[in-house]
Amino acid sequence: MSYLQINNLKKSFKDDHVLKDVNISIEKGEFFVVFGPSGSGKTVLLRLISGIMFQDNGNIQMDGKNINQLNPEERDISMAFQNFALYPHMDAFENIASPLRANKSDDETIDKKVKEVSSLLKIEHVLTHMPKELSNGQKQRTSLARSLISKPSVVLLDDPLRNVDAKIRFEMRLELPKILKEFNTTVIYITQDYREAMALGDRIGVLYDGKFNDIEKPRQVYNNPKSLTSAKLFGDPTINNFTTNVQINNGSININIGDEKFIGKNSNQNINGKYIVGIRPEDVQLSNKKSDNSIKVEFRTKTPLNLKIVYLIKFLNGVEMLCSVSENESLSIDENKELFLNIDYSKIHLFDSNNEETIF
Amino acid sequence: MKPYLWSLFKFLAYIAIIVFFLFPILWIFSMSFQTNDTILQKVPSIFFTPTFKNYIGLWEGEISIEGFATMYVFFKQNLINSLILSVFSVLVTLILGVPAAYAFARYKFKGGEDIAFTLLSFRFAPALLIIIPLNLYFTKIGLYDSYFALVWVYQLITLPLLLWIVRGYFEDISVDIENAYRLDGHSWLKSFFYISIPLARPGIAASALLCFIYAWNNFVFALILGSSSIQPVTVGALAFITASAIPYGLIACGIVVSVLPTLILALFIQKYLVQGLSLGAVKG
Amino acid sequence: MSKVELIKLNKVFESKIGEDVIAVNNFNMNIEHGEIVALLGSSGCGKTTTLRMIAGFETCTDGEIKLDGEKINHLKPSQRNVAMAFEGYALYPPLTVSENISFGLIREKISKSDINKKVDEVINLLEIKDIVDRYPPTISAGQQQRVSLARALVRNSKILLLDEPMSQLEPQLRAVLRARVKDYMQHMKKTVVFVTHDQTEAIALADKIAVMELGDLKQLASPYDISAKPENVFVASFIGEPPMNILKAEYIKKENNVIFKVFNENTSDTFNIKFSDNSIDLSKIKNIINNQIITLGIRPHKIDFTSNSSNIEGNTKIFTSHWLGDQMHVGININNITVIGVAERDFNLKSDSIKINFPSESLNAFDKDTEEVIFNGL
């Protein structure tokens, strides 16, 4: 029995149909990540769930009860905004205490709880500061403290780590799951960073074209995306993809690249025709030595990326590919000599050349 | 050498400009402590022995003028009228205007911009165009010579002013701050009183002050729509100019007393104006 | 040829109230012909001001700018033979995308077919083919930025100046467009100076990176050296994702071993990293006094998970791990001190207690007060 049930949610702004048909069942205590490109409607979805915006169609149920008609203050849902939305005329203490003042807790309880939460989030030393005196990292934690303090059933986090610097972002990625477990709450978390989505989510909902396209565990979405669009959203550098003739039969796969062919083992169903082939840069091998099935490629340039090296190469027929290689491996590759490329045949993806849906 | 001369020149220029602008005000202030015999000297002098005769006269309602009989001064009542009209005008404007400004800021409804602009256009129209019809209508419905009528008419001046200024301040408040307050569990009304209004306070204070000044300074409506019993200082000042004498000292005293309430209000509100909207609580 | 020399470049913004702002402080840099140089730093560091001085949109309070040996401080921007892509894109609203891109080429007296060829090349490179006939106000910010970049790339100028050229790019396009743009710039042998706050962009594209902070040049080096041989803590922590682990440690020389006693400043937790004398280069630590407190750094990627032995003395537990497809981010707890590591994507985290190594050649040390480097690798 899912805790938060969203059915056929629809929202448009004049001609812009942001959300067309959103459906999701979220379990109690789940950390659910809403991931998608900029403009896909993630923030709109969160605003609809929180009640500060109303949907055109569809309904939202919490714990079996329909909450469509309830005002934001009646929904037992809290939200941490991307731009923090702290009250400028109140100090950090009062900002965090606000939900407890709303449910009329007494001063002693408020004092105790604010101190508890702020100590957990390491901001007890700035409780008397006004928002404009806080750093972005402190503002973000204050906003988080405010959304957690009344132990709501559902917490909505709108890209909370977007506006903080890299060092704090990585720290929070490690600490956030721990902190949230203390509050035993169901979390819906928005991010545009696929790494953050994969690091934090129990499940990831991939939102684009106005609906959820994949709803899977992180490893699943990365390894078995439902379409080329989803495949492109995960992975840096982005998955290589090109359209070409592919034949699979008797456990062997032929991929045509101009006049050459990649031939390898693949145990999928028999196939013959034009398809989109997808292969991730980390599943591609480069070498100066030709091996059985490798194809000669032209080296164009290399760009370092987080202690890996990304090679841009071109096949004879003009198809380009990015290959991601470790620092050590790249030391043994001489780009001035002949270069040969091979792929890991067990990691190939095939997509339909018309609707881009995944074949395997 | 050159920068030093330039600084000296700037300093002298500042002094000259200050003296030029402040001189009339200071002169009037000094005149209020004199009577015609010292004011109208052949050669005006900065030095004089001050007298409180004018101020006392204003307060008691009569003053004796050398060479003539006692003059009756109605000015105190004018002052009270000004205060009543201005204060109530501002109060009505605040009660009507602040929620309206919020509505215009937050809710984009059909024809909203047109209505807002129409209200603003009232300020463009010269008062002289409408006072005769207004006088006739008000007399017909028995509103001639009432505070109520003037306060009502003053809304034409004060309401658009407050609306446009305060609307801007509400628009500057990120709506997410109000949303956050509601998600904390507070009702919309609470968010309006504890979030929206405090954050727009500088704008509300500034426009309240401006409305007070405009209401206080109004002449035409007050002249035509009321008799002497409700006339404010702007109209009442006319009474000083009599066929027998023009008591400049008394007039100066009247001016000083007229300016005082607005000055005090401005100093009092300054605290709220300076506070400013600290948008540091929202990123960017 | 287009060699650029920046000699003691200085820019001060005078202030009527308060202090003057030194936006660029005594900046020295040479840019060789065909080099791609990045000015990297967070906002307010002076990188854009420096770029604008090279372009001629900002006067220099002091110092010289030379192009091919000739001083150009006094020249107007139009006289300097530079092409620039602005942070605000600055596209011509009444012209279509392709007209915007080809606009600058009209002055260069090349044939129409050549212009079309050049323009087609960058349009395909930057994937803006489907908007060539659109007008600037109708396309997205990311697309406008690419058009602005295309317009600057296509020009045949002595220097190419780019102000945050790819900041609005969708994450999925970044790696491939960076590679293509670098390919283009290298093959056209363009001399490029670009400004960015994104260190992955600087590392990907540049031959040389100038890291700036509050007007000062913190380090000028190749991407490899900036990452492996940072000259101060600022550069060390600015570069790298995940960022370098920065730890405080006490240097202890004991018998035939060198021990770094890492400690948490707020609690009493500590753990030791132990090296035997014959496994390290002793000349690198000859200036450190016994029991001196230093700042230690180790990049998450350099932590060794594959060794059978460990040079860490402390209870080592993995408390969280994030599988990210091509790598694994690992949160390590050593006697209650947190360290972030990056492991291979198929790393097997069977049990809690694992053996990790801090390789001596990947250890960085900085003076705890001056923050200058003591050694990069032992």
Q: Tell me the C-alpha distance between C345 and B57, whole Å.
A: 96
**A163 and chain B in contact, CB less than 8 A:** yes
All residues of chain A having their beta carbon less than 8 Å from the beta carbon of residue C176 are: 237-238, 312, 320, 322
pLDDT score recorded for residue C349: 75
Neighbours of chain C (3+ CB pairs under 8 A): A
A window 255-294, beta carbon within 8 A of C: 280-282
Residues of each domain in chain A carrying CATH 3.40.50.300: 4-226
Give the ranges where chain C is alpha helix by DSSP (H): 47-55, 97-103, 112-125, 141-153, 171-187, 199-205, 223-228, 233-238
pLDDT tens, chain C, 378 aa long: 789 999 999 999 988 778 888 899 999 999 999 999 999 998 889 999 999 999 999 999 999 999 999 999 999 988 888 888 888 888 999 999 999 999 888 877 888 898 999 999 999 999 999 999 999 999 988 899 999 999 999 988 889 999 999 988 888 899 999 999 999 999 999 999 999 999 999 999 999 999 999 999 999 999 999 999 999 999 999 999 899 999 999 999 988 899 999 999 888 899 999 999 888 888 888 888 999 999 999 999 999 988 888 999 998 988 888 999 999 999 999 999 999 999 988 888 776 567 899 999 999 999 999 999 999 998
* C330 to chain A: closest CA residue: A174
CB-CB under 8 Å, A132 with B280: yes
Domain shared by C276 and C188, yes or no:
no
Domain shared by C153 and C276, yes or no:
no
Interface residues of B toward A, Cβ cutoff 8 Å, are 174, 176-177, 179-188, 195, 198-199, 277-284
Q: Tell me the C-alpha distance between C288 and C294, whole Å.
A: 9
**A46 has pLDDT over 80:** yes
All residues of chain A having their beta carbon less than 8 Å from the beta carbon of residue B187 are: 71, 73
Q: Buried b vs exposed e over C108-136: b needs ≥16 C-beta within 10 Å?
A: eeeeeeebeebbeebbebbebeebbeebb
Chain A closest-CA separation from residue C318 CA (Å): 11
Domain shared by C80 and C141, yes or no:
yes
pLDDT score recorded for residue B67: 65
All residues of chain B having their beta carbon less than 8 Å from the beta carbon of residue A89 are: 198-199, 278
3-state DSSP assignment of residue C130: helix
* A172 to chain C: closest CA residue: C331
Domain shared by C185 and C270, yes or no:
no
CB-CB under 8 Å, A52 with B183: yes
Tokens of B68: 């003539």
* A154 to chain B: closest CA residue: B183
Neighbours of chain B (3+ CB pairs under 8 A): A
The DSSP secondary-structure symbol of C244 reads P
Question: Which of C40, C183, C342 to substitute to test the interface with A, most A CBs within 10 Å?
Answer: C183
Tokens of A201: 């989510």
Mean pLDDT over each residue of chain B, to the nearest integer: 85
Q: Which residues pair with A312 in a beta bridge?
A: A301, A322
**A230 and chain C in contact, CB less than 8 A:** no
CATH of the domain at C110: 3.40.50.300
Domain shared by C81 and C134, yes or no:
yes
Q: For the sheet containing C21-31, what is the strand order?
A: C21-31, C4-13, C62-67, C70-71
Q: How many other CB atoms are found less than 10 A from the CB of residue A266?
A: 20
- Do the strands C21-31 and C4-13 form a parallel or antiparallel pair, or are they unpaired? antiparallel
Residue B52 confidence class, pLDDT cut points 50, 70, 90: confident
**C224 and chain A in contact, CB less than 8 A:** yes
CB-CB under 8 Å, A195 with C340: no
Among A97-106, A148-157, B244-253, name the one with the lowest average pLDDT. B244-253
CB-CB under 8 Å, A38 with C179: no
Question: Which of B177, B183, B272 to substitute to test the interface with A, most A CBs within 10 Å?
Answer: B183
pLDDT score recorded for residue A301: 94
Output the CATH code of domain A240-352.
2.40.50.140
Last residue of a domain, one of C195, C211, C238: C238
The DSSP secondary-structure symbol of A271 reads E
Residue A293 confidence class, pLDDT cut points 50, 70, 90: confident
**A178 has pLDDT over 90:** no
Is residue B79 a contact partner of residue B258, using CB atoms and an 8 Å limit?
Answer: yes
Is residue C209 a contact partner of residue C40, using CB atoms and an 8 Å limit?
Answer: yes
Higher pLDDT, B130 or A195: A195
* B284 to chain A: closest CA residue: A83
* B282 to chain A: closest CA residue: A85
Report the C-alpha dihedral over residues A292, A298, A304, A306, rounded to 10 degrees.
-40
CB-CB under 8 Å, A50 with B278: no
pLDDT score recorded for residue B43: 75
One-character DSSP codes across A233-262 = HSSSSPPEEEEEEEEEETTEEEEEETTEEE
CB-CB under 8 Å, A307 with C175: no
All residues of chain B having their beta carbon less than 8 Å from the beta carbon of residue A137 are: none
Question: Which of A83, A129, A153 to substitute to test the interface with B, most B CBs within 10 Å?
Answer: A83
Higher pLDDT, A239 or C88: A239
CB-CB under 8 Å, A166 with C241: yes
- Do the strands A308-314 and C82-85 form a parallel or antiparallel pair, or are they unpaired? unpaired
Residue A1 confidence class, pLDDT cut points 50, 70, 90: low
* A130 to chain B: closest CA residue: B281
Nearest of A213, A194, A235, A254 to residue A355 by alpha carbon: A213
Last residue of a domain, one of C238, C262, C296: C238
CB-CB under 8 Å, A79 with B186: no
CB-CB under 8 Å, B281 with A87: yes
Q: Tell me the C-alpha distance between A279 and A231, whole Å.
A: 10
pLDDT score recorded for residue B277: 39
All residues of chain B having their beta carbon less than 8 Å from the beta carbon of residue A82 are: 283
Are A and B close enough to touch, i.e. 3+ CB pairs under 8 angstroms?
A: yes
| Environment class of B67 (CB within 10 Å of its CB; exposed 0-12, middle 13-18, buried 19+) | exposed
Of A87, A103, A133, the CB nearest to B185: A103
Q: How many domains does chain C have?
A: 2
Domain shared by C52 and C197, yes or no:
yes
As a whole number, mean pLDDT of residues B222-240 equals 83
All residues of chain A having their beta carbon less than 8 Å from the beta carbon of residue C331 are: 174
Last residue of a domain, one of C238, C255, C276: C238
**A228 has pLDDT over 80:** yes
**A300 and chain C in contact, CB less than 8 A:** yes
Domain shared by C115 and C183, yes or no:
yes
One-character DSSP codes across chain B = -HHHHHHHHHHHHHHHHHHHHHHHHHHHHHHTTS-HHHHT-SS--S------HHHHHHHHSEEE-TTS-EEE--HHHHHHHHHHHHHHHHHHHHHHHHHHHHHHHH---TTHHHHHHHHHHTTTS-HHHHHHHHHHHHHHTT-TT-HHHHHHHHHHHHHHHHHHHHHHHHHHS-HHHHHHHHHTT--HHHHIIIIIHHHTHHHHHHHHHHHHHHHHH--HHHHHH--TTT--HHHHGGGG--SS---HHHHHHHHHHHHHHHHHHHHHHHHHHHH---GGGS--
Among A256-270, A297-311, B78-92, name the one with the lowest average pLDDT. A256-270
Q: Which residue has the tokens 């959103």?
A: A22
pLDDT score recorded for residue B278: 40
Domain shared by C229 and C261, yes or no:
no
**B276 has pLDDT over 50:** no
> pTM surpassing 0.90?
no
pLDDT score recorded for residue B66: 67
Tens digits of per-residue pLDDT, B152-194? 999 988 999 899 899 999 999 999 999 999 999 999 999 999 9
Of A171, A219, A238, the CB nearest to C175: A238
**A98 and chain B in contact, CB less than 8 A:** yes
CA angle C303, C305, C310 (to 5 degrees): 85
Q: How many other CB atoms are found less than 10 A from the CB of residue C351?
A: 8
Residues of each domain in chain A carrying CATH 2.40.50.140: 240-352
Residue A5 confidence class, pLDDT cut points 50, 70, 90: very high
Residue B31 confidence class, pLDDT cut points 50, 70, 90: confident
pLDDT score recorded for residue C181: 96
**A219 and chain C in contact, CB less than 8 A:** yes
Domain shared by C216 and C277, yes or no:
no
**A301 and chain C in contact, CB less than 8 A:** yes
pLDDT score recorded for residue B138: 86
pLDDT score recorded for residue B274: 61
Is residue C24 a contact partner of residue C49, using CB atoms and an 8 Å limit?
Answer: yes
Report the C-alpha dihedral over residues A271, A275, A280, A284, rounded to 10 degrees.
70
As a whole number, mean pLDDT of residues A92-114 equals 94
Q: Which residues pair with A260 in a beta bridge?
A: A257
| Environment class of B41 (CB within 10 Å of its CB; exposed 0-12, middle 13-18, buried 19+) | exposed
Domain shared by C159 and C49, yes or no:
yes
ω into A237 cis (within 30 of 0): yes
* Cα separations in angstroms, A190 against A63, A234, B176: 22, 15, 17
Mean pLDDT over each residue of chain A, to the nearest integer: 92
Backbone angles phi, psi at B224, to 5 degrees: -90, -30
CATH 3.40.718.10, applies to A4-226:
no
CB-CB under 8 Å, C170 with A38: yes
| Environment class of C284 (CB within 10 Å of its CB; exposed 0-12, middle 13-18, buried 19+) | middle
As a whole number, mean pLDDT of residues B225-235 equals 83
**C297 and chain A in contact, CB less than 8 A:** no
Q: Tell me the C-alpha distance between C133 and C156, whole Å.
A: 24
- Start-to-end C-alpha separation, chain B: 45
**C349 and chain A in contact, CB less than 8 A:** no
Tens digits of per-residue pLDDT, A53-75? 999 999 999 998 999 999 999 99
Q: Tell me the C-alpha distance between A31 and A27, whole Å.
A: 9
Domain that holds residue C110: 4-238
Tens digits of per-residue pLDDT, A297-354? 999 999 999 889 999 999 998 899 999 999 889 999 998 999 999 999 989 999 999 9
**A105 has pLDDT over 70:** yes
Domain shared by C230 and C250, yes or no:
no
Residue B282 confidence class, pLDDT cut points 50, 70, 90: very low
